[in-house]
A and B are shown apart, each in its own frame.
Chain A
Amino acid sequence: MSTIVKTEFTFPGQTGKYTGKVRDVYTVGDLIVMVATDRISAFDYVLPAGIPFKGQVLNQVASAFLDATGDILPNWKIVCPDPSVTVGYRCEPYKVEMVIRGYLTGHAWREYKAGKRTLCGVTLPEGMKENQQFPEPIITPTTKAAEGHDMDISREEIIARGIVPEEEYEQIERYTRALYERGCRMADERGLILVDTKYEFGNRNGQIMLMDEVHTPDSSRYFYKEGYEERLERGEKQRQLSKEFVREWLMSCGFNGGAGQRMPEMTPEIVASISDRYIELYEHILGKAFVKEERTLEQMQENIRECLASLK
């Protein structure tokens, strides 16, 4: 089955193109065209094989959540002219990523385990276990590094350094909490726990807008609700609904992005099983049947061009 791993589109009025780890983003005047390719990355490496329908899964999950949260604040999406593409407003991004955590897990747990009781300026309660729910969700922002890894940063430092004006940061914080609350409720309806997630915001003509992806498996961590309490009690790993399965497979093959390590071969069977897992994520998160849509790069470009022409 063919995959879409690289796009080299040209659109009338195009002024730029950015190739990210999994997305190709085109700037066309006041709009951006975000193509979610079938590329997959783990441990900061883009893996050699594309995963069929991965781009469609992520784009459509993000689109569904943008539609479902549009009443909280305006967002960048205008339309999805193709299953793997979103066209939307270009915004000036705020140079922070708003990470909100409902549970002590991942990076926060690693810091906590190492003895830290403050993360991004937020005091963490004593006596917590891994994967335990915080009394209230905490916001642990990170910088948006042009290169290298994003770094933890506190609210106070963001404001003091003028990264985001104070009034706007407070609004962004309110939006972050409201979006997370909505995401938790939607996840709960699906038998899931939205453990943590990140949001990116931008400004367009003086208005704060939600950018990028929302509540996708790439930007979020989900636990299965069923059995959560029992596993927490027993100190067991929680069942996760996320792309951990890719990292776990790589680690089982001795690869975790370390220097000198060899990327394991991605056989057609492995590729197909990863594709199936992504489709399973879609169906579980949204509770809808996934409709596989195959099209060529030319058809995708035509879809986007028709859309851009109609938006003029």
Chain B
Amino acid sequence: MRAIWTEENKFSAYLKVEILALEAWSQLGVVPADDVRKIAENARFSVPRIKEIEEKTRHDIVAFTRCVSESLGEEKKWVHYGLTSTDVVDTANGYLIKQANDILRQDLLSFLEVLRRRALEFKDTPCIGRTHGIHADITSFGLKWALWYEEMKRNLERFKLASAGVEAGKISGAVGNFANIPPSIQDYVCGKLGIESANISTQVLQRDRHAFYLSTLSLIASSLEQMAFEVRNLQRTEVREAEEAFRAGQKGSSAMPHKRNPIGSENICGCARVMRGYMLATNENVALWHERDISHSSTERIILPDATELLDYMLVRFRDILDNLVVYKDKMLEDIYMTNGVIFAQRVMNALIGKGLSREEAYDAVQPIAMKAWSEHLDYASLLKQDAFIRSRLADEEIDACFTLAYYLKNVDTILERVGIKKN
């Protein structure tokens, strides 16, 4: 990813745009084909030389075109013909972003593979579900992965839409009116680069495109953060239902030899904060003056390389963390029973309703026994069987039937089919 955003690659993209524009001019009979051929074959640039020229010109595109012209003969007069700087910069940027998106798309797809594989791996693993941080109901550990899988599928669709908007180019002149350059030039160049030829623009492409794109990248980062939070929470010492793999030779602390910290997931959470900052700045880039001002340019020089590299890093690093996440199924089972079986209270309540009690009666019958079991560390099922009111409605076997785990996982396969992890 870093190679895409080097100065070398950026100027290569500029040169590509320049040469394609000349090809299009040549097809219109304006620029001699032979001159275009000479430029395509001989045009060269050097980044240090561009920087040297820029010291004087204080204008990077002028420095670039002058550097390129130094490698050419008379045909150099055609370099940058009919173009304004941003015709080259914005179009080249659209092309560079396309290259970056090829990598990000692959990252997203391989991330989905891991989520899918682990959803299947753990679909039959019961674990406690928590709401507000409190034990709520029993679920399948595989469903957490399936939930993330579907969220990342939505992210992939958002990414495709956002990418399509920002992989665009414009060669429409100083204020976007195509007065000095016909639209066919833009269409040709963008077609060759595989990017959208903007229907309309000013001196620049509208920045809502970039804002949407960075908002999407930041949303993807937020999704990763959500998963990372889950890992961090599950790795807490008191929970320890899962933890990041700890390599042989790895050290968790310089002071505490026993430490194994979820540093990877913490890293992801931090990176997501940075990504959200990029979203804000690019949204602020939308409101440019009249037919453009250049305030967006400084932010984009930082944000476009940084955000794409950062998201690439996050997706690859976190994919590996999740792929190698160590899962403690026994601890998950232990945690289900940590509250002495009160987690099955809802089923007992529903069983009583099935026997003719109103909801209020059933709830009020079940709740105090659950609170007693929880606070006095007594077995909930046993307390229910000793309670005269409950015994008058439910036989022991009917109470026992409320405490089975398989009940909670009975629709897991159906859910996995719904999200596309399993097929019918």
Contact = CB atoms under 8 A, between A and B. Distances in A.
Interface of A: 60, 63-64, 67-68, 70-71, 77-80, 189, 287-289, 291, 293, 295, 299, 302-303
Contact of B316 (A63, A70, A77): A70
B287 interface: no
A189 B248 contact: yes
Count class of interface residues, chain B: 10 to 19
Interface of B: 105-106, 109-110, 112-113, 117, 120-121, 247-248, 316, 319-320, 323-324, 423
Contacts of A77: 106, 110
Contact of B121 (A78, A291, A303): A291
Nearest to A74: B103
Contacts of A70: 316
A58 B105 CA distance: 24
A303 B423 CA distance: 9
Given A189-B248, A291-B120, A293-B120, A299 B423 contact: yes
A291 B121 CA distance: 6
A83 to B, nearest CB: 8
Contacts of A71: 316
B120 A79 contact: no
A230 B105 CA distance: 48
A288 B316 contact: no
A67 B324 contact: no
Nearest to B107: A70
A78 B109 contact: yes
A189 B247 contact: yes
Contacts of B105: 78
10 contacts: A67-B110, A67-B320, A70-B316, A78-B109, A79-B112, A79-B113, A189-B247, A287-B324, A288-B324, A303-B423
B319 A67 contact: yes
Nearest to B247: A189
A299 B424 CA distance: 9
Contacts of B113: 63, 79-80
A63 B112 CA distance: 13
Going nearest first, the 7 A-B pairs with the smallest beta carbon separation are: A79-B109, A291-B121, A291-B120, A299-B423, A80-B113, A67-B110, A78-B106
Contacts of A293: 120
B323 A79 contact: no
Contacts of A189: 247-248
Contacts of B316: 70-71
A299 B247 CA distance: 38
A297 B320 CA distance: 30
A34 to B, nearest CB: 15
B106 A79 contact: yes
B120 A302 contact: no
Given A67-B319, A189-B248, A79 B423 contact: no
A79 B104 CA distance: 12
A303 B420 CA distance: 10
A184 to B, nearest CB: 15
Contacts of A295: 423
A289 B121 contact: yes
A140 to B, nearest CB: 30
Contacts of B112: 79
Contacts of B324: 287-288
Given A60-B117, A78-B106, A80-B113, 20 more contacts: A63-B113, A64-B323, A67-B110, A67-B320, A70-B316, A71-B316, A77-B106, A77-B110, A78-B105, A79-B106, A79-B109, A79-B113, A189-B248, A287-B324, A288-B323, A291-B120, A291-B121, A293-B120, A302-B423, A303-B423
A291 B423 contact: no
B109 A291 contact: no
A3 to B, nearest CB: 18
Contacts of A291: 117, 120-121
A291 B116 CA distance: 11
Contacts of A60: 117
A303 B424 CA distance: 12
A64 B247 CA distance: 18
B110 A79 contact: yes
A12 to B, nearest CB: 19
Contacts of B247: 189
Contacts of B423: 295, 299, 302-303
B3 to A, nearest CB: 10
A214 to B, nearest CB: 14
A18 B51 CA distance: 51
A303 B248 CA distance: 38
A18 to B, nearest CB: 24
A291 B145 CA distance: 14
Contacts of A64: 323
Nearest to A67: B110
B326 to A, nearest CB: 10
Contacts of B110: 63, 67, 77, 79
Contacts of A288: 323-324
Nearest to B119: A291
Select the residue from B105, B113, B248 with max chain A CB neighbours within 10 A: B113
A230 to B, nearest CB: 22
Contacts of A289: 121
Contacts of A299: 423
A142 B234 CA distance: 50
A163 B398 CA distance: 77
A232 to B, nearest CB: 23
Select the residue from B112, B121, B423 with max chain A CB neighbours within 10 A: B423
Contacts of A302: 423
Nearest to A299: B423
Nearest to A302: B423
A56 to B, nearest CB: 11
A312 to B, nearest CB: 10
A63 B110 CA distance: 9
A288 B113 CA distance: 14
Contacts of B248: 189
Select the residue from B109, B121, B320, B323 with max chain A CB neighbours within 10 A: B109
A64 B121 CA distance: 16
A159 B112 CA distance: 41
